[in-house]
Structure 1
């Protein structure tokens, strides 16, 4: 396949003009800049980027968008509605909802998603006959939507740092212990080249210290990514200090959870020593700015983390917004708010958080670049909308939104063209799927 990009973002600080891109068997085979448009080759008008990676997703949270802001949108309003949706999902309704959500991601330029999955069992907490049927639903949903997925199966054992047992709908999140989690998920045999199995620790609230090494060892033995919610709220830090006499970051370090294959999600409320531990261990951090501000969690220390050598990726988490341009530019914007200064990250660095770094955090190190040998993922963003008209293409990340994505190619296969998903009526599917789990 061949495409001619008006501008393409290659390995540099800004996009270059006139790029002929060729691919075969899902990989780029030639990338040639400074070329006139050849006849008969599809022209990608605007700026063409490598595929974007959403490194942190909870697909079922998409059903909450616009539904949690009564009572002035308190955290408790959000949590109660989240549990209500979690209690209604089954393998069939989850497949339909996740397929629509992943198709919305594709429309936003996302070619790979990291699904932080803890909705394992039935509403009473009993294992399904196939104990990984909910994981199967997510893998199938990604295939139907045309995107790759890293299924981050999540160990979730307790309701708090104090070890309180799971109750109510939380029971469907949990296994008996980390060994039972490992046995269950270790039996999963995903099908399709679009899916990879990986592990997650929900948080130090949900996995006791003695159980953490089991999950870390499972991931290490398979050289699989390992993700963990970290210091999302001050209350988590305070409870961890009371129970263990250590910050959550230090607890994870002592248990062998941190390392180059690990990504800490949020990392909002860190000490200087925490930042040094993350940087020194090679652990990455996934920031989710739109969710962090939607839930009033706070602004994380993106600048100090980057200065410590931490690779930053981004995710849309609860899907209050699905727009990785917004997530990426918020990394810079929130750092400006935190410090009162501008100019912390370049446009190329911000796009890398939404692309190459995110892919690497999800175990797809061969994606996120328009380069020979890389996976043939392309995202084209128009430069003639009311948001992007007249911009310098180098400043795209500070102007564009998901609505400006026109074309998406995943592993050489067109998924979105002219702003429309080629296989699904996404608005209709979203409306029906959300209605099915929020009414009745």
Structure 2
């Protein structure tokens, strides 16, 4: 297979006239400055490695628009409306979590992953905790919900790391209740036995598009001894380990009250930090927390569109990077699915916080969206345009109303700071073309599929 890129980002610079060749799902050669061979497909625009969405909750896509619809109260019509917070948003999220079953989840996730493909995402990290039936009873196949997510990724043509999440408590010293009951396995031993089965059937079972990792939902949801066990499970299998960390000040306060340390320090004491661990959000950290994450080379996944939508705050991404933590990106609750927006928000948020410009280069932000994300998801052989890497290509138009500008010399800057997901023209994943001219080749009508899946789910909420 051959592709000829008009311009390609090769990790350190933008090159012109790049011939890219692959055998099966891997690149075999990348040659710059050559004429296009006759009959070779020409990729017009800037071609990048596939993007990695390192933090996803697919079912949250059904919340888009709905959770933003908080009606204003006219003057004189009663007491002022209470402000929304992460915790009021969570109440609405639980309503959706309590209604979705395997068939509905496959339909929704397939459409969400197809939306990701249209945005240039070749691999997703699904932070998965909808394990059991509402009320907590297991399905006949205890991994039914995880299996449909793996199948949905295949249906949409992208790779997936299923980050199977241990979720044992509804808060420090509080049991799971209501919608949370379906998240829990009762004990870390039950969690491990269930995930072992999924791991065996996936990583060793001939599913080349899928890998299984582990997740600790948060220090609120998993006690210290169980944190050690989950970290040990991941370490033994050299699998990724992800954890929501310090998303809210209330989490930090509860952790200090219960254990006398910050959540980051607790994770360190439990052996849960390290180069295969990714802390998600990491918004409210102390200087000591930043040093702990950096010196252990723990990755950090920033999700700026979610963090601003939920009024979480601005995380110390630049300080974490300087300390030694690789930064990757996620769309989390899918208020939008656009890794270009996530990437530039890392820089723009820092500008708002410091009132200074120029904290991140376009190349650093593209690295966060590509190889850092793939490494975080346990695919270190992806995210680069080089021989031996997975044959993933994303071509972004340079002639749209957003991206037309100073020319190819500043193509990376133009894409990072002006392009949107709508500018993605072509996507190849593992050597297979899945998006052509902005159209998904495997899911005929992505907007229609999203509309149908979300409408069916909302009908159960209103029924």
TMscore range, shorter length: over 0.9
Aligned twin of 1:398? 417
Structure 1 stretches of at least 4 aligned residues deviating more than 6 Å after TM superposition: none
Asked if the contact 1:380–1:407 (Cα under 8 Å) also holds between the matched residues in 2, the reply is yes
Distance 2:53 2:225 in 1: 31
Aligned twin of 1:435? 455
Structure 1: give runs of 5+ residues left out of the alignment: none
Distance 1:408 1:118 in 2: 29
- After superposition, the C-alpha distances for 1:116-143 in whole angstroms (9 at most, x for unaligned) are 0000000011111110010100000000
Question: Is 1:92 paired with 2:103?
Answer: yes
Q: 2:346 aligned to 308, 320, 331, which one?
A: 331
Asked if the contact 1:71–1:77 (Cα under 8 Å) also holds between the matched residues in 2, the reply is no
Distance 2:265 2:226 in 1: 15
Distance 1:267 1:233 in 2: 9
Distance 1:70 1:413 in 2: 39
Q: 1:145 aligned to 156, 161, 164, which one?
A: 156
1:215-226 equivalences under 5 Å are 215-226=230-241
User: Once the 2 structures are TM-superposed, how far is the Cα of residue 209 of structure 1 from its aligned partner?
Assistant: 1.3
Asked if the contact 2:241–2:277 (Cα under 8 Å) also holds between the matched residues in 1, the reply is yes
Distance 2:90 2:222 in 1: 20
Q: CA RMSD in A?
A: 1.0
Instruction: Compare 27-36 and 237-246 and name the one that shifted more.
Output: 27-36
Aligned twin of 1:60? 59
User: Once the 2 structures are TM-superposed, how far is the Cα of residue 71 of structure 1 from its aligned partner?
Assistant: 3.0
Instruction: Compare 237-246 and 176-185 and name the one that shifted more.
Output: 176-185
Distance 1:71 1:90 in 2: 27
Asked if the contact 1:69–1:77 (Cα under 8 Å) also holds between the matched residues in 2, the reply is no
Distance 2:374 2:411 in 1: 23
Distance 1:102 1:291 in 2: 18
- After superposition, the C-alpha distances for 1:45-94 in whole angstroms (9 at most, x for unaligned) are 00000000000000000000010123367235522321111111111111
Asked if the contact 1:314–1:327 (Cα under 8 Å) also holds between the matched residues in 2, the reply is yes
Aligned twin of 2:195? 185
Distance 2:34 2:11 in 1: 17
- After superposition, the C-alpha distances for 1:283-321 in whole angstroms (9 at most, x for unaligned) are 000000000000000000011101101100000000001
1:328-407 equivalences under 5 Å are 328-391=343-406, 392-395=410-413, 396-407=415-426
Distance 2:219 2:182 in 1: 18
Asked if the contact 1:55–1:358 (Cα under 8 Å) also holds between the matched residues in 2, the reply is yes
User: Once the 2 structures are TM-superposed, how far is the Cα of residue 160 of structure 1 from its aligned partner?
Assistant: 0.8
Asked if the contact 2:11–2:367 (Cα under 8 Å) also holds between the matched residues in 1, the reply is no
Aligned twin of 1:168? 178
Question: Is 1:244 paired with 2:243?
Answer: no
Asked if the contact 1:68–1:77 (Cα under 8 Å) also holds between the matched residues in 2, the reply is no
Distance 1:378 1:368 in 2: 9
Residue 166 of structure 1 aligns to a residue in which SS?
coil
Aligned pair count? 438
Aligned twin of 1:124? 135
Aligned twin of 2:427? 408
Question: Is 1:307 paired with 2:332?
Answer: no
Aligned twin of 1:158? 169
User: Once the 2 structures are TM-superposed, how far is the Cα of residue 282 of structure 1 from its aligned partner?
Assistant: 1.2
Asked if the contact 1:70–1:77 (Cα under 8 Å) also holds between the matched residues in 2, the reply is no
1:4-43 equivalences under 5 Å are 4-12=4-12, 14-43=13-42
Aligned twin of 2:76? none
Distance 1:78 1:182 in 2: 30
Asked if the contact 1:200–1:226 (Cα under 8 Å) also holds between the matched residues in 2, the reply is yes
Residue 414 of structure 1 aligns to a residue in which SS?
strand
Question: Is 1:203 paired with 2:212?
Answer: no
Distance 1:74 1:146 in 2: 37
Question: Is 1:421 paired with 2:420?
Answer: no
Distance 1:19 1:74 in 2: 50
Residue 236 of structure 2 aligns to a residue in which SS?
helix
Distance 1:377 1:273 in 2: 38
TM-score, normalization by structure 2: 0.93
User: Once the 2 structures are TM-superposed, how far is the Cα of residue 404 of structure 1 from its aligned partner?
Assistant: 0.2
Distance 2:22 2:328 in 1: 27
Residue 374 of structure 1 aligns to a residue in which SS?
coil
Asked if the contact 2:47–2:395 (Cα under 8 Å) also holds between the matched residues in 1, the reply is yes
TM-score, normalization by structure 1: 0.98
User: Once the 2 structures are TM-superposed, how far is the Cα of residue 36 of structure 1 from its aligned partner?
Assistant: 2.0
